[in-house]
Amino acid sequence: METSMGLQAILVGIGATFIMDVWGWLQKNIFNSPPLNYALIARWLAFMPKGQLVHRPIMATPSIRGEKPLGWVLHYLIGIVFALTHVFIWGEAWLAEPSVIPAIFTGIVTLVFPFCIIQPCLGFGVAASQTPRPWKARWLSFLAHSAYGIGLFGSALSLHICSVIL
C-alpha cells in the first residue's frame, strides 16, 4: 500500500471511528443505553502479559491506572487497522470512488471481533450470550458497527470531495 493510500486509509479510519462514537453518544444520551466502556479493553490487554486472557467478568478484575485514555487510544487504533484492511481489500479504486455497500459490509464483518473474541474474553460470552439481555447487546453492537461502516463511506467520500476541490 503506497503512502498516500495508507494515509488516506488512516484518515478514513479516524473518521469512521468518530462516526461510531457519535452513534455511541446518541445511544447513551437519546436512547439511554450506554455504549461499551473502552477502558475495559485497556484492562483486558493490560492483564494479558500476566497470563489472564479471559475474565469472569472484566468488571471484577481490578482497574489499571490510565485505562480510560488507553482504552480510547486502542479504540481508534483498532478503527484505523480495520480501515487499512478495508482499503487493502477494496483498493485504491474504492478510495477514488467510495461506495456505501463495501463500507457497510466491512462494518458488519467487523462484528466478528467483538462477538467471537472480545465479548467472550471479557466474560460476556460469545455474542454477549452471558449478558442479561443478549439480543439487545447484539443489536447495539450491530448498530455501532454499521455506524462504523457508514463512517468509512462518509469519511472516504469527504476525502475524495476535498481532493477534487483542492
Q: Give SS3 for 1.
A: coil
pLDDT level of residue 163 (50, 70, 90 thresholds): confident
pTM to 2 decimals? 0.94
Using the predicted structure, report yes or no on whether residue 1 has a pLDDT greater than 80: no
Range 120-153 burial, b when 16+ CB lie within 10 A, else e:
bbbbbeebbebbeebeebbebbebbbbbbbbbbb
Place of cell 439511554: 32
Mean pLDDT for 150-159 is 97
Computed over every residue of the chain, the mean pLDDT equals: 95
Q: How far apart are CA 102 and CA 94, in angstroms?
A: 9
- Per-residue pLDDT reduced to its tens digit, 50-107: 999 999 999 999 999 999 999 999 999 999 999 999 999 999 999 999 999 999 999 9
Total tally of structural domains belonging to the chain: 1
Q: Which domain holds residue 128?
A: 3-165
